[in-house]
Chains A and B, each alone.
Chain A
Amino acid sequence: MTRYVLSRIGQALLVLWAAWTISFFVLYVLPSDPARIMVGPDATDVTAAQLDAIRHQYGLDQPVVVQYFQHLGSLFTGDLGRSIGVGRPVADVIGEAIAPTAQIALAGLVLAIVFGGGIAVLATWTRNRALGQFLLQLPPIGVAVPGFWFALLLVQWFSFGLHLFPAFGGEGPASVVLPAITLALPTGATIAQLLSKSLVQTLREPYVDTAYAKGAGRWRVQLRHALKNAALPALTVTGLIVGQLFSGTVVTETVFSRPGLGRVTATGVQQQDIPVVQGIVLLAAAIFVVVNLVVDLVYPLLDPRVVIAGSRRKLRDRDGATPGATPSVPGTTPSSTSEPTAVHA
């Protein structure tokens, strides 16, 4: 077990390093001129000497390999470089933004689980065909709605129409509500799609019949017996869902003018602030990797059918439902070809 955990942590670190490396090459090595980008496209009065000075200051005059190892070296000391836009260390800029984003992201996740899960449970529980069909039509709509538009509709209705919640800003608990609902829409829709699919499958399993035969009621079977097992496959896409929440904050925080990671990202791109953008990419990859690591480690505890043997997992009866058999990435989840999972906000 310890060996398994260690090897998984090693893999996670490797992915993180690779993500950072890819972002480094995209941002610094592709046929672009970081120094030019830094001074901005409108700066026509910059002399070649000034550009050279900037190149020297940021080490851009060094060979790429030297730059790469310099950056990698400072990364190990927690130094992500300096923001070009605000001139402060990237780690500080990002660090300050985490808390406000975590608020709306957590609230959004809770809403998404409650409503997404609720729709899935109700749609598979009801015997009213029309109601079931109606409920199953909702998630595809939720996935298709642009996040920025939904946010603006919420502002129209609840801020300017009913005066219930503030239209923008990050002060007080009331300001969390509308951004959280915005984030919850695509995420909740994704959860509802995955969960209803897996509930339909689970309800066909023999143990469900056994539960009925023992006299359990429909609600009890649905909630106590089926939901527990049906939720497991949905757990494997937690990393994807968290990533979806993360990218959702870019649009959400822009619409609601809230401080946070999304705003830092949007401003970073706007100002072509390469160190900040790279820091954000690294953070997103780190979150994804950590979430997947935790899911992988917790999974066998939740599903005793999954056994860890050495560093490999063996499945007894289920196919494609466990993280060990399927790395939890969007391209390989069983739902990826059939379900419109919107990763974009």
Chain B
Amino acid sequence: MTETTQLAIGRPAPLATTADRVPGGTTALRAIVARPTLTIAVVWLALVIVAALVPGALTHHDPLAAEPAAKLTAPDAAHWFGTDQLGRDLYARVVHGTALTLQAAVLAIVIGLVGGSLVGLVAGFVGGAVDAVLMRVTDVLLAIPSLLLSLTIVTVLGFGTVNVAVAVGVASIATIARIMRSEVVRVRTAPYVEAASANGNRWWRVLLVHVLPNAAGPVLVLAALEFGTAILAVSSLSFLGYGAQPPQPEWGSLVATGRDFIASSWWLTTIPGLVIAVTVLAGNRVARALDTERRAVR
């Protein structure tokens, strides 16, 4: 199992590398020209982060200000994304909704990363019965589709953005734990770790200074990949009505509200959904680039 994972990680992705490699001397401009999709992805994610941190910089509209006279108007120069059933500016609502969605996704990743890394580290480093038990538990968790696992946790915790984030994060622990464990097992037997132990370092020092940094690479790439998954999961749960409660704007719940007006006002569902899709796509593109980069370094 460890062997196969290791092989998969060591082997360069045959489909991606040829297109992604930047030839020869790389000035910034050349890098941009050589990888246009990556550039667009990075720019988009930067915009998303700006929208989450300082939404006022991207729009002067109030996301909660209703303007009944202008309700359900199609996108035009005044309202770039159109307006909703109360005449609220959809563009402002999407921009201001970014923070909630992004916060939830980041919280989910942090929970998954910390929880998964801990489980993986302990299992891989301690080994023996502890390893066996922990890995059997992750096997079982992986047998349950992660959306269902998230839904189970939401059932217990109740609704709300934070609970949704926790649920999505916990559901991703098992996957991260597995990768972390296989990396730790690979690194643990390396000569430099043996040397560190032989030099009289305490076990926790060996673990933190020598094993963790060398095992973290694939886990971090997975976490980057997890960003897209988390955005999708969080917005799905919000769409189902378990996340942000109205009138707070959130990407998934924006699509859900727009659903009632789908026959007449296409923009209410199409535009927020497109924003989600592009963000996930951009996140996955960056994650893939990180993966390629990491393999090239090694």
> Chain A residues in contact with chain B, CB under 8 A?
15, 18-19, 22-23, 26-27, 30, 32, 37, 41, 133, 136, 140-141, 143-150, 152-153, 155-156, 160, 196-197, 200-201, 239, 243-244, 246-247, 250-251, 254-255, 265-266, 268-270, 272-274, 277-278, 280-281, 284-285, 288-289, 319-320, 325-327, 329-332, 334-338, 340, 342-345
Contacts and interface: CB of A to CB of B under 8 A. Distances in A.
A332 B4 contact: yes
A146 B240 CA distance: 12
A149 B277 contact: yes
A335 B222 CA distance: 11
Given A254-B240, A330-B175, A334-B7, A265 B15 contact: no
B79 to A, nearest CB: 20
B147 interface: yes
Given A19-B144, A22-B137, A342 B156 contact: no
A148 B239 contact: yes
Contacts of B280: 144-146
Nearest to A276: B155
Contacts of B269: 149, 152-153, 156
A319 B1 contact: no
A246 B157 CA distance: 23
B152 A270 contact: no
Overall SS of chain B's interface = helix
Interface in B230-265: 232-233, 235-236, 239-242, 252, 255-256, 258-259, 262-263
A331 B144 contact: no
A344 B136 contact: no
Nearest to A288: B143
Contacts of A285: 140, 143-144
A197 B288 CA distance: 15
Nearest to B276: A146
Nearest to A248: B147
B49 interface: no
Interface of B: 1, 3-5, 7-9, 13-16, 19, 136-158, 174-175, 177-179, 182, 218, 221-222, 225, 228-229, 232-233, 235-236, 239-242, 252, 255-256, 258-259, 262-263, 266, 269-270, 273-274, 276-277, 280-281, 284-285, 287-288, 291
A293 B45 CA distance: 42
Contacts of A331: 138, 142, 174-175, 177-179
Contacts of B8: 320, 334-338
Given A146-B273, A149-B273, A200-B15, A247 B158 contact: no
Given A269-B242, A332-B1, A247 B146 contact: yes
B232 A146 contact: yes
A155 B262 CA distance: 8
Given A254-B240, A268-B155, A344-B229, A329 B19 contact: no
